[in-house]
Structure 1
């Protein structure tokens, strides 16, 4: 269902008037996937969908600066590998070890707010750096993080290609998720991801 919505929205962008007056705003869609860094404690794989709103607020001779707002839904799968990660001092640790060793579906609902520094290097191409942080809600408790409120931090580099008012984007990224100590468990997750996007200048 989500993939159909993604395709319908992309088709809608294609139907917009190509001669519309350009503005500082750009709207788009993104899709990405990734996994944890190799370790012996846990596995975590994820794929995610984003709605993206860019606002270009400043340009200099060599750089462009943008604010990026990205509502996101993340579909993750997590499993504890090292049962000794749950310490004996944890209440009901034996039951929790059994529970956490099961493969779990994790849903994350995120509002990322980011800052982009963009460097054009040809007429239709640009390179950029992105840093973002935002609140999120996760629906599943694991040995690494409590369910409920948390934060998602992303650091990414990317390259874009423009075609008329469309922009095509590829973005490797690093993502850290934790709850800043607001929950009882806060080891968090660290993942490496690759993202793809398309956006349209309004």
Structure 2
């Protein structure tokens, strides 16, 4: 991640946090870390870990549920390698060169702006469980046999469990993630990963 990109993420997070302080009680800000890997397959490997800034906004609180908007700027560090060289078809231009290049282990950086919706069910005064669905635009810095370099989307579905301790909330959430570019690039097979995330946020 470049200094300019890091500065932009911090600036955005600071701006949202300052706005949040004007609406005390509805906002929470925090941080999450996660890691994961692809579902077992014979075509490729994909391992990742990621960091997210988190801004929650309480949209509505009903009798049994809470509804929140979640914004998560993310940087994802991944390692990927093509295992099945026949994934690159002979009819592809310069296929032998591509097979040789794509079967090398690659480091990939992904920069994502996740925008999600949370449905939360409180369990007593301390605990809660929730469902999270998010989608966000993404920039990936490396071309692979499965996806072109540049613009793409990241989709996440997660089930989470939270514990509230004073003004802090601690989260753990298993998640499923799909990354693809919706056909905007030459390659769009994408990646599917299973992940686990750990987060902490502070209620303003």
Q: TM-score, normalised by structure 1?
A: 0.89
- Give matches, 1:12-27, under 5 Å: 22-27=24-29
User: In the alignment, what sits opposite 2:125?
Assistant: 123
User: Is 1:86–2:88 an aligned residue pair?
Assistant: yes
Shift of 1:63: 0.1
User: In the alignment, what sits opposite 1:114?
Assistant: 116
**Unmatched 5+ stretches in structure 2:** 1-22
Q: Name which of 68, 83, 89 aligns with 1:66.
A: 68
**Unmatched 5+ stretches in structure 1:** 1-20
For residue 97 of structure 1, give the secondary structure of its aligned residue in structure 2: helix
Q: TM-score, normalised by structure 2?
A: 0.88
User: In the alignment, what sits opposite 1:201?
Assistant: 203
For residue 187 of structure 2, give the secondary structure of its aligned residue in structure 1: coil
Hey, what's the Cα distance between the residues in 1 that align with 2:177 and 2:47?
A: 12
Shift of 1:22: 4.4
Hey, what's the Cα distance between the residues in 1 that align with 2:73 and 2:91?
A: 38
User: In the alignment, what sits opposite 1:12?
Assistant: none
User: Is 1:158–2:160 an aligned residue pair?
Assistant: yes
Q: Which stretches of structure 1, 4 residues or more, deviate above 4 A after TM superposition?
A: none
Q: Name which of 18, 40, 43 aligns with 2:42.
A: 40
Hey, what's the Cα distance between the residues in 1 that align with 2:149 and 2:84?
A: 20
For residue 135 of structure 2, give the secondary structure of its aligned residue in structure 1: strand
Hey, what's the Cα distance between the residues in 1 that align with 2:24 and 2:168?
A: 11
- Give matches, 1:149-188, under 5 Å: 149-188=151-190
Total equivalences in the alignment: 182
For residue 199 of structure 1, give the secondary structure of its aligned residue in structure 2: strand
Q: Name which of 55, 58, 64 aligns with 1:56.
A: 58
Hey, what's the Cα distance between the residues in 1 that align with 2:144 and 2:194?
A: 20
For residue 157 of structure 1, give the secondary structure of its aligned residue in structure 2: strand
Shift of 1:123: 1.2
Hey, what's the Cα distance between the residues in 1 that align with 2:119 and 2:36?
A: 24
